[in-house]
Chain A
Amino acid sequence: MTTAAPPRPATGRPRRAAGRRAARWPAWRAFLLLTLPMVAGLFLFKYVAIGWGFLLSFNDARGTIALGDWNGLENYRRLLGDPAFTRSLVTILLFTLFIVPVTFALSLGLAVLVNRLRGGRAFFRTTFFIPAAVSYVVGALVWKMSLFSGTPSGVANSLAYLLGYEESIGWVATVDPPLYWIVLVTVRLWLQTGFYMILFLAGIQQIPAQLYEAARVDGAESEGRLFRHITWPMLRNTSVAVVLLLIINAFQAFDEFYNILASNLSGLGGADGRTPLIYLFQTALGEQNYGAGSAGAFVVTVLIVVFTLLQGRFAGFGRTAEEEG
């Protein structure tokens, strides 16, 4: 009797569910196999690291990376009370406020210029882009030891001599006026401008040619007006991305400051020219003070996040103004 029971619709459902489950296990297995390495790696080297660092920043962790010696906000208080650290924040802020607009203008200008060329576009694109293959260490080396070396045969000094300055200038070692800034800023311009030029160049090449033709028909003949009314607004997304990347990269400056100023740091009126990352490097690895180092890492992280969010806000305001106007 039981075997003869008529099949009810309900019996179909569990069977289908079982079938679906059978079909889904391979999907799950494949999903786990493919994502687990990435998820585990990011979990360990980002989440665990950041969580541990955060806890460590409330500990007196000197010569140890173990938790357990709780000292509350002491690390933060000492850090923000240390003029060397606050000065490093001012340094990086000034550096960012200068390098971001200058790189932006230079890379955009070069992109427009290269795009206007009839022949040799590939050659000049490569010329401006190739420094992106060079490390900041090598860049620092050329700048410190050859271009801006303090010797009379340095390139900058040879040029200065041609212009009538008889004495050779110690570019890296001169704090007042801060000539070492010229060295730091130009090396970064050389290394990073071509990279952003490529981004702008791609953006420009995506602008439909009809837009320019239509504008010419409407009487906009001058290059300046075409740029202002078409190129610039059409590059909006690229511009926002470029500024964002520039800010993040500027705040993380380490390599060229370390290699250009390292052996001169003591000669530069104490900690002048140190960036926050150099300060933290010296705190964590030099003094083995991992608690203070972790606290500093969080201060810097918060600063970068705030700055990028602010930039997003300003870009957002720009858009609404554009739409209203």
Chain B
Amino acid sequence: MRKRHLGSYAAVIVFAVPFLLPFYLLVRNALMSKRELGSLDWHWWPETISFQGFADAFGNEAVPLAHALWNSTLISAISAPLSTLLASMAGYALARIPVAASKPAFFFIIATMMVPGAATFIPTFVVVGSLGGVNTMWGLIVPGLFSAFAVLLFRGFYLRFPRELEDAGRVDGLGYLGLYGRLALPNSGALFASLGILSFIEHWNAFLWPLVIGQDPEFWTVQVALSTNLNQQAVNMPALFAGALVAILPLVALFLIAQRWIVRGVLLTGIKG
């Protein structure tokens, strides 16, 4: 019995090393000097810790990293709560308001899940472009606000919402909007938090759409800025890794703090992996 457990630990450690290695490389490379990182020999750790990479990453005028970080923060901070709220509104209405349009509206929303997201970036670009959304903040944000899958999850959640609570609210004179705003929404905090966090991650890490729609450096997100640096001719390596480290820190922190909610949300959804 004990032997078998030792075997499990040996195996799990063997797998854990390659999973942690890239994080170690990110930190190590960000803290090395250009000369040391460019040298031909392997170094486990920088001889002298250098923060020049961070200074270079933020000092590069061709790739405004600070501004890109600000854009990403803005986009994610607006998109995550707003898209989750929109999904919860629609989910509640579909689950709890008995009107004839309920079923057709449900199918109208769910049918969009059949179409794979990334394959629609050209049609969506055509529509957003014709509305003047290229190189605008709304062009970056608005098309990503509508998630049929989140509607599906919220609808399922509200279908199981206790009727007695609603009846009590109705006695107190609440209409459907009141029931949603005062009772249903405040009581869906757990689902709201987990889907909101997942949405934040998704928007923070998005690459294709920001690349397509925010072509002007003023509208670059942090992922587009990193990619631009990566594909430059002469790459300042410590700066590249310093920028990447800065870009993943908020999300890694979010992951470690809110892991319970994230796991819950992942189980509910199945967004980009």
Q: Which residues of A contact B (CB under 8 A)?
A: 24, 26-28, 30-31, 33-35, 37-39, 41-50, 52-54, 56, 65, 110, 113-114, 116-118, 120, 124, 126-147, 151-153, 155, 158, 190-192, 194-196, 198-199, 202, 223, 241, 245-246, 248-249, 251-252, 254-255, 258-259, 262-263, 277, 280-281, 284-285, 290, 293-294, 296-297, 300-301, 304-305
A41 engages B22 (CB within 8 Å) = no
The answer to whether A128 and B240 touch across the interface, beta carbons within 8 angstroms, is no
Chain B stretch 113-153: residues in CB contact (< 8 A) with chain A: 114-130, 142-143, 145-146, 148, 151
Give Cα A245–Cα B269 distance, bound, in whole angstroms: 10
Bound together, the chains give a CA A27 to CA B176 distance in angstroms of 7
B123 near A141 (CB under 8 angstroms)?
A: no
B65: chain A residues at CB < 8 Å are none
Query: Is B231 an interface residue, CB under 8 A from the partner?
Result: yes
User: How many CB-defined contacts (below 8 Å) exist between A and B?
Assistant: 277
**Whole-angstrom CA separation of A136 from B129 in the bound complex:** 26
Question: If the complex has contacts A46-B112, A199-B266, A277-B119, are A124 and B255 also in contact, measured as CB distance less than 8 A?
Answer: no
The bracket for how many chain B residues form the interface is: 35 or more
A124 to B115, CA, bound (A): 35
Shortest distance between the CB of A112 and any CB in chain B (Å): 9
Check B207 against A49 for contact (C-beta < 8 Å).
Answer: no
Q: How far is the CA of A199 from the CA of B273 in the complex (A)?
A: 11
Known: A31-B97, A137-B227, A281-B212. A126 touches B256 (CB 8 A): yes
B55 at the A/B interface (Cβ < 8 Å)? no
**B175 close to A26 (CB less than 8 A):** yes
Structural contact, A48 and B127, CB atoms closer than 8 A? yes
Complex formed: what's the CA distance from A135 to B208 in Å?
12
Residues of B contacting A54 in the complex (Cβ-Cβ under 8 angstroms) = 123
Inter-chain contact A31/B230, CB cutoff 8 Å: no
Residues in B200-238 with C-beta less than 8 Å from chain A:
201, 204-205, 207-208, 211-212, 223, 226-227, 230-231, 235, 237
Q: Are B92 and A135 in contact (CB under 8 A)?
A: no
Q: Are the CB atoms of A153 and B41 closer together than 8 Å?
A: yes
Find out whether the CB atom of A35 lies under 8 angstroms from the CB atom of B19.
no
Interchain CB contact under 8 A, A199 and B270 = yes
| Residue from B25, B89, B211, B235 within 8 A of A38 (CB atoms) | B89
B122 near A280 (CB under 8 angstroms)? Answer: yes
Q: Interface of chain A, helix or strand or loop or mixed? A: helix
- B175 near A133: Cβ-Cβ < 8 Å: no
Q: Are B207 and A254 in contact (CB under 8 A)?
A: yes
Do A39 and B247 touch across chains, with their CB atoms under 8 A apart? no
**Do B124 and A45 touch (CB < 8 A)?**
yes
Contact across chains for A147 and B25 when beta carbons are under 8 A apart: yes
In the docked arrangement, what's the CA distance between A141 and B270, Å?
25
Closest to B20 in A: A127
Stretch from B6-14, B56-64, B160-168, B188-196 at the A interface: B6-14
A sample of 6 more A-B contacts (CB under 8 A), given A129-B259, A293-B122, is A37-B86, A38-B87, A138-B248, A146-B241, A199-B267, A254-B207
Across the interface, name the chain B residue whose C-beta is closest to A142: B22
CB–CB B259/A290 < 8 A = no
Contact among A27, A280, A294 with B126 in the assembled complex (CB-CB below 8 Å):
A294
A305 contacts B114, C-beta separation under 8 Å: yes
Question: In whole angstroms, what is the CA distance A117 to B10 when docked?
Answer: 11
Give B1-29 as 1s and 0s: 1 = Cβ < 8 Å from A's Cβ atoms: 00011001101100110111111011001
A245 to B266, CA, bound (A): 12
Residues of B within 8 A of A53 (CB): 120, 122-123, 126
A42 touches B146 (CB 8 A): yes
Q: Closest residue of chain A to B264, judged by CB? A: A202
